[in-house]
Structure 1
Amino acid sequence: MAQDPAQRWNRTEGVLVVPGTQPDAVAARLEAERVVARLEWYPATPHLLSLTLLADADGRVAVTPPSRGGVTVGIRISELVESLAREFSGDVTIGPASFNALPADVALPSVASEAPEGSRTVVVSPLSAYMVPLQATLLERPLAVTSLPALDRRIVMYSGEGNQLGAFGWDKESLPALVLTVDARDIAVRAVTTGESEDDAVFSWGMTSQYVWGGVAEPGPALRALVDEMLTDSTDVSLVAAAVPGADAEAVAEAFSTPGIDGLVALIDALGLPDWVASVLTGRLAPAEAPGAVVHEPRGLSNAVGRSVGLMLQDPEAPGSAFWQTYIRVVTERPWLMRAGVALEAGIGGALIGTAVHRRDRTGVAHRGLLATGVVLLVDAVAEASLASWTRHRELRRRADQEMALVAEELGA
């Protein structure tokens, strides 16, 4: 006999801090209580366990009955929490209930909070490439970025210790973002959908997961169906796949079931990302060596703003970019046109000022309109001459750098 179809269960999550205890011991204790649950932990920190179980609206845990299939209501969450905490001398929180039975003199194993030195991260996001120089300055670390026009996505890459992209929040234009990370402890992917961490979809190939089927040695179809529906992270697949246009959701699910680095490689293929992304994450290719990558160093806020504006103006799809490119060509290739225009503007301004002064000498009253217009034209002419000179010198230097790079490439070949 299966569980009552009218019974409604809620997925309830918790955390166990149980120093000196192995996950198998916790699983055995849950089996003794006939609790249906899922345990997850990292091999490096088996004393920190994530627990997911089912509970009804009254806070009673789903358990397997001894004489029939399915699940039924069991002890209350608060009773289970206190029982586990006292059994393992730990700190246990499940849903709204918590109980701390940690000894006063207990020393908890240290857990590294920052990214390990050998960590490698690839972020796939619709963020604008113009924002990357600012992000590099904000995070105080070099960022390599390349674009995937076919997917309308940017790939931002970095390695080693330091602040992570999104550490200070995500702006709406950067979402959804997909964060792939490989380090000595873990291989993981995180889909950031809203900027709120509780809405993230996270999957880890390094995390160990164990299901506890209550007191049932071999779960039946009804129990398996309930666990698949309520305890597995089915939304992880859909959210990860939705973060990249054109991703194959079924292939993403298969990648999640493939262990280790092979699963990560399969995920990259399922998302339609270039093969070199896997090389960056596995350390075979440095972020700066990725095809088309541009590296932005943290060189101060003013420098970052200048680079961001420069990138925006060089983008042919950016508003005003076509005008700016035309302006650059004119001041660089036909500087005499700009000089003539500036001279004409300055001449008109000077003439207006002269007329205003002459009228004042003749009538004793200065014409403020003529005087103000003349001053504005003169100031604008000076500013225009300065901008044209600065733009021309910068463009000539850029072209010279390009030519030197081509010569160096030819000599190297």
Structure 2
Amino acid sequence: MSQFTSVELVFHAEPAALTEALEQAHVLARIDYLPASVRASAGDGAVFITAGILVDEAERIVTVTDAGVAVGPQARDLVGAIANRLEVSLWVPKWDLDVEPASYDPAPGARDTATDNGLKGEKATIVVVTPAPMSAMPMYATAVQQDLSVLDLGDRRVVMSTSSDEPVGFGHFGWSEDTLPSLVLLNDFGERTVALHETEANFAEGLHSWDLVTEFVTGSVATPGPGAQALIDEFFSATRDAEAFASYAGVSPDRMYAAMTKPGDRGMLEMIALFNLPGVVAKVLDEAIEPADVPGAQTFTHESWRGAIKETTRLYMAEQFPEGTAGEFWTQFGHATFDNPRMRLALAGAGGLIGGLLLRSAIKSGGKVRGTFGALFIVDAIGNAVLTPLIEKWKREGRTDLGLSDDGRLEVRRFDAGRSDNAPR
């Protein structure tokens, strides 16, 4: 393992100008940004750029020259000087460093307005692939106040929704055990990303953007040497993300990494295929089809909590007893209960106890209603404890019944269980 650590910088600058400045300083870095065609953040071509650099224990920046990898000046001083020279904004969360150019306009909302005006899309679309049952969807739709269109794949559900404000959909309030692992595919006003959540933590085990541009700055050399390439592979490559996605999809990390290196639509379509998802998911992300119009999808509206609870109960009963109804469930439950002698006697005992208590209370206070119910409980308990076993015994030993003969005379018939020739005796 290397003795270096990575630090993340956030610039608001033109990508070409920042790359040139980093090369002149011989810095080894990885920069990621969304092109202005996807999400412009200013009219002058400036975009938000995430730059990853490496520093040693003394926070000296790692540089690359023809002689190889070396440590340079203090990283804080160097990146601050680059931001000032380019007259751009810089933010370093790890160091709590915030650099603004002299021409920066601190008017509230100025930068946000510029960002919003450059959005490629007009809405956010979120697709979540989760093992959560269909019965969970009505409650989630009500909780997030968004219509959820759900495509049932058998072992997974594809939950789709759109929002005109912020990306709000399934999983918005976090993850629980029954919703994991979850694959989140998002079109966030033009940027298409995929994230894998395998634990209840807020962070994602795998993350990839199909619209993000990734470039490596290798100091003053065009081709990095073995030392620089080793650092790129260790700190800046997406192999960890590829391994997480590959494990989820059940494919090799090499296949997944190859798909992740393909930009735009090609990479998105290939990764969706590796995830064994239907091609319509890509159309939903590209906003070519509305979630509610996906063939086979069931849409859950964000209704009242009462309606959501009612629908959740109906779906849950259907999931637990797919070949029957709720009424059949209670019928099966009753048969299973009363066919068990111990359970039948226990219920009879409980009924007799309740009946006795009601009768006792009625005798003391003169309550006729309680007395009546108490008597009924006792009679029912006796019936369950005594008559039911007798009836079962009669069934086993045979039973007698009255019937009419062919000439209309009344006669006694005896029926034996298991015999087909139950004729008059």
When the two structures are superposed, what TM-score results if normalisation uses the length of structure 2?
A: 0.70
1:175 aligns with 2:167: no
CA contact (8 A) 1:125 1:153 kept: yes
CA contact (8 A) 2:60 2:74 kept: yes
CA contact (8 A) 2:120 2:189 kept: no
Q: Which residue of 2 aligns with 1:8?
A: 3
What displacement does 1:34 show? 0.6
Aligned mate of 2:126, from 121, 125, 130? 121
For residues 129-278 of structure 1, the aligned pairs below 5 Å read 129-149=134-154, 152-162=155-165, 163-182=168-187, 185-244=190-249, 246-278=250-282
Aligned CA distance change for structure 1 residues 314 and 88 (closer, same or farther; 3 Å): same
For residues 42-53 of structure 1, the aligned pairs below 5 Å read 42-43=34-35, 44-45=40-41, 46-53=46-53
Deviations 1:82-104 (A, max 9, x none): 21232233332333251423335
Deviations 1:137-191 (A, max 9, x none): 1111110112222xx3211012342523333222232222111123662221122
Aligned CA distance change for structure 1 residues 264 and 317 (closer, same or farther; 3 Å): farther
Q: Which residue of 2 aligns with 1:68?
A: 67
Q: Where does the alignment leave 5 or more consecutive residues of structure 1 unmatched?
A: 1-5, 331-344, 379-413
Q: Where does the alignment leave 5 or more consecutive residues of structure 2 unmatched?
A: 333-347, 379-425
The CA distance in 2 between the partners of 1:286 and 1:304, in whole Å, is 23
What displacement does 1:240 show? 2.5
C-alpha RMSD of matched pairs (Å): 3.8
The CA distance in 2 between the partners of 1:76 and 1:375, in whole Å, is 92
Please tell me the residue identity of whatever aligns with 1:161: S
The CA distance in 1 between the partners of 2:361 and 2:91, in whole Å, is 88
What displacement does 1:269 show? 0.9
When the two structures are superposed, what TM-score results if normalisation uses the length of structure 1?
A: 0.72
The CA distance in 2 between the partners of 1:126 and 1:139, in whole Å, is 19
Deviations 1:367-398 (A, max 9, x none): 99x749639969xxxxxxxxxxxxxxxxxxxx
Aligned length: 343
Aligned mate of 1:86, from 66, 84, 87? 84
SS in 1 for 2:29: strand
1:40 aligns with 2:32: yes
What displacement does 1:80 show? 2.1
The CA distance in 1 between the partners of 2:321 and 2:74, in whole Å, is 60
Aligned CA distance change for structure 1 residues 215 and 372 (closer, same or farther; 3 Å): farther
What displacement does 1:50 show? 0.3
Deviations 1:260-293 (A, max 9, x none): 1121111111111223323333344432333432
Please tell me the residue identity of whatever aligns with 1:281: L
The CA distance in 2 between the partners of 1:159 and 1:257, in whole Å, is 28
Aligned CA distance change for structure 1 residues 7 and 173 (closer, same or farther; 3 Å): closer
Structure 1 window deviating more from structure 2 (81-90 vs 203-212): it is 81-90
Larger gyration radius, structure 1 or structure 2 = 2
The CA distance in 2 between the partners of 1:42 and 1:296, in whole Å, is 34
SS in 2 for 1:64: strand
Please tell me the residue identity of whatever aligns with 2:297: A
The CA distance in 1 between the partners of 2:52 and 2:197, in whole Å, is 22
Aligned CA distance change for structure 1 residues 209 and 288 (closer, same or farther; 3 Å): same
SS in 2 for 1:302: helix
What displacement does 1:329 show? 7.2
1:26 aligns with 2:18: yes
Aligned CA distance change for structure 1 residues 223 and 286 (closer, same or farther; 3 Å): same
Q: Which residue of 2 aligns with 1:304?
A: 308
SS in 2 for 1:58: coil
Identity of aligned residues (%): 26
Q: Which residue of 1 aligns with 2:418?
A: none
